[in-house]
């Protein structure tokens, strides 16, 4: 599998264990994007010449591939710059439709900043209040607390599919049912979920599902917001400009049909094409087998970390865990550990992982995170453990 990813194939010594931040890109995605720029480069939707029509076809085929994978209609797939922009779009546009003073937005304390800050901004703008579902001692969501927090005042419930810090899949089916019972809109931050799960948005029953392309074999700067068509029709546009309009006059404007209504300006054409190719690559993988392998590698690391008395791991593995290992060393700052690993050609994550409220709950300012993926092996885990031993020799 490693041979399919040029960056790794070209450097056999490199160990990449930071896929929760961004995945490596397979040859097929890189080649498809290169082919667009070499043979198909033209603006989309506007030209009546063949080259533009070819570019438009390739771009829209990418959207159709993603929609098919999600179990959605193509016009329900909005291209964004990533998860962050997708959540901001919903917070501002759906918020304008459903939020009024005194309403409540329910999140969890384990969210990425991208699923906290936009809702805080929307709450301030529309006079709403943000509530947070806490965690139990085992760092799983407290469903009893969720039942108390999701009430008739709740208008929007937004939570991650899988925590980017803990690697735990939240009980979204139960949370979605609670939200639906009170008539609240629901958004799932699928930045990690789309990486580890086959996602069918219709079966899931969420109103919105957001993810970034770069975490799931695709390019940076492109992402997806799935939204139920009837909701997207009711929402005002996010930005104004070309392609999102039906007609413009000096007295006012009318909006284009979905998905163009939410895609102002020239889109990230090569990004959409590349992400479509990434999903075609993803369709060739057995996602259950991939998750099982990630869990196996994660458990190998957890077993090895038991040999380090100064290491504190923050979650116990279970069937709801995808193999991400986050830990703190009482004698070594995560940034120092990451620097030692870098010297050994090992890439890991160090910091607060854009989840500072969760770090406060864990009682640390930063952690180290190892996130194995499809191109990693047991040898990669062993090499990391040796680097951790070396770090202890230097700092302890």
Q: What is the pLDDT of residue 47?
A: 87
In contact, 191 and 211? CB cutoff 8 Å: yes
Residue 63 shares a structural domain with residue 187: yes
Cα 239 to Cα 380: distance, rounded to the nearest angstrom: 45
Cα 358 to Cα 208: distance, rounded to the nearest angstrom: 24
Report in angstroms the alpha-carbon separations of 104 from 94, 154, 320: 14, 5, 28
Q: What is the pLDDT of residue 46?
A: 82
Of 93, 206, 341, 354, which is the active-site residue?
354
Task: Give the domain-ending residue among 261, 283, 305.
Answer: 283
Cα 237 to Cα 253: distance, rounded to the nearest angstrom: 12
Percent share of the chain, pLDDT over 70:
100
Residue 342 shares a structural domain with residue 277: no
Mean pLDDT of 251-280: 97
Q: What is the pLDDT of residue 315?
A: 86
Write phi, then psi, for 289 (nearest 5 degrees).
-65, -40
Per-residue pLDDT at 338 exceeds 90: yes
Phi-psi region of 353 (alpha: psi -120 to 50; beta: other; left: phi over 0): left
Centre a 10 Å sphere on the Cβ of residue 136 and count the other Cβ atoms it contains. Answer: 11
Residue 300 shares a structural domain with residue 230: no
Residue 10 shares a structural domain with residue 81: no
The contacts of residue 249 (CB under 8 Å, 6+ apart) are none
What CATH number does residue 391 fall under? 3.90.1150.10
Residue 213 shares a structural domain with residue 267: yes
Residue 233 shares a structural domain with residue 315: no
Per-residue pLDDT at 162 exceeds 90: yes
Report in angstroms the alpha-carbon separations of 339 from 155, 295, 332, 343: 45, 26, 11, 6
In contact, 158 and 149? CB cutoff 8 Å: no
Residue 240 shares a structural domain with residue 105: yes
Residue 311 shares a structural domain with residue 201: no
Cα 270 to Cα 258: distance, rounded to the nearest angstrom: 20
- Specify the number of domains making up the chain: 2
Task: Give the domain-ending residue among 283, 298, 326.
Answer: 283
Per-residue pLDDT of 99-116, as tens digits, reads: 999 999 999 999 999 999
In contact, 216 and 23? CB cutoff 8 Å: yes
Residue 147 shares a structural domain with residue 291: no
Cα 39 to Cα 341: distance, rounded to the nearest angstrom: 41
Q: What is the torsion angle, in degrees rounded to the nearest 10, for the CA atoms of residue 86, residue 92, residue 94 and residue 96?
A: -170
In the 8-state DSSP scheme, what is residue 321? B
Residue 155 shares a structural domain with residue 238: yes
What CATH number does residue 256 fall under? 3.40.640.10
Report the alpha-carbon angle 102-225-242, nearest 5.
Answer: 100
Edge-to-edge strand ranges of the sheet holding 349-351: 311-313, 325-329, 367-370, 349-351
Structure tokens at 1: 């599998």
* Average pLDDT, rounded, for the chain: 97
Beta bridge partners of 132: 107
The verdict on whether 354 is a catalytic residue reads yes
Task: Give the domain-ending residue among 245, 268, 283.
Answer: 283
Residue range(s) defining the domain that contains residue 39: 28-283
Q: How confident is the model at residue 204 (pLDDT cuts 50, 70, 90)?
A: very high
Q: What is the pLDDT of residue 196?
A: 96
Cα 105 to Cα 20: distance, rounded to the nearest angstrom: 27
Residue 332 shares a structural domain with residue 313: yes
Q: What is the pLDDT of residue 316?
A: 87
Mean pLDDT of 73-93: 98
Residue 290 shares a structural domain with residue 336: yes
């Amino acid at each position: 599998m490693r041979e399919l990813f040029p960056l790794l194939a070209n450097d056999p010594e490199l160990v990449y264990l930071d896929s929760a931040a961004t995945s490596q890109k397979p040859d097929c995605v890189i080649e498809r994007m290169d082919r667009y720029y070499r043979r198909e480069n033209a603006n989309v939707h506007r030209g009546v010449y063949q080259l533009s029509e070819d570019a438009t076809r390739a771009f829209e085929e990418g959207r159709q591939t993603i929609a098919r994978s999600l179990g959605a209609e193509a016009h329900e797939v909005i291209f964004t710059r990533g998860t962050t922009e997708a959540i901001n779009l919903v917070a501002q546009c759906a918020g304008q439709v459903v939020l009024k003073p005194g309403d409540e937005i329910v999140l969890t304390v384990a969210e990425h900043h991208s699923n906290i800050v936009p809702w805080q901004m929307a709450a301030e703008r529309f006079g709403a209040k943000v509530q947070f579902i806490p965690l139990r001692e085992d760092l799983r969501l407290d469903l009893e607390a969720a039942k108390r927090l999701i009430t008739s005042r709740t208008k929007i419930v937004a939570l991650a599919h899988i925590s980017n810090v803990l690697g735990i899949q939240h009980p979204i089916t139960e949370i979605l049912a609670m939200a639906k019972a009170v008539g609240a809109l629901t958004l799932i931050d699928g930045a990690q979920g789309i990486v580890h799960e086959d996602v069918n948005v219709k079966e899931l029953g969420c109103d919105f599902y957001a993810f970034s392309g770069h975490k799931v074999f695709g390019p940076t700067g492109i992402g997806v917001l799935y939204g139920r068509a009837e909701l997207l029709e009711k929402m005002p546009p996010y930005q104004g400009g070309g392609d999102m309009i039906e007609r413009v006059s000096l007295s006012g404007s009318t909006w284009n049909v979905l998905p163009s209504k939410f895609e102002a300006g020239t889109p990230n054409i090569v990004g959409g094409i590349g992400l479509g190719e990434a999903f075609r690559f993803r369709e060739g993988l057995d996602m259950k087998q991939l998750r099982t392998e990630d869990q196996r590698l994660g458990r190998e690391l957890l077993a090895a970390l038991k040999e380090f008395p100064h290491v504190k791991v923050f979650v116990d593995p279970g069937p709801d865990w995808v193999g991400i290992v986050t830990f703190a060393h009482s004698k070594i700052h995560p940034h120092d550990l990451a620097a030692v690993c870098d010297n050994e050609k090992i890439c890991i994550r160090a910091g607060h992982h854009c989840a500072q409220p969760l770090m406060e709950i864990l009682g640390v300012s930063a952690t180290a995170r190892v996130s194995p993926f499809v191109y990693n092996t047991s040898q990669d885990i062993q090499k990391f453990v040796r680097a951790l031993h070396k770090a202890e020799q230097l700092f302890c």
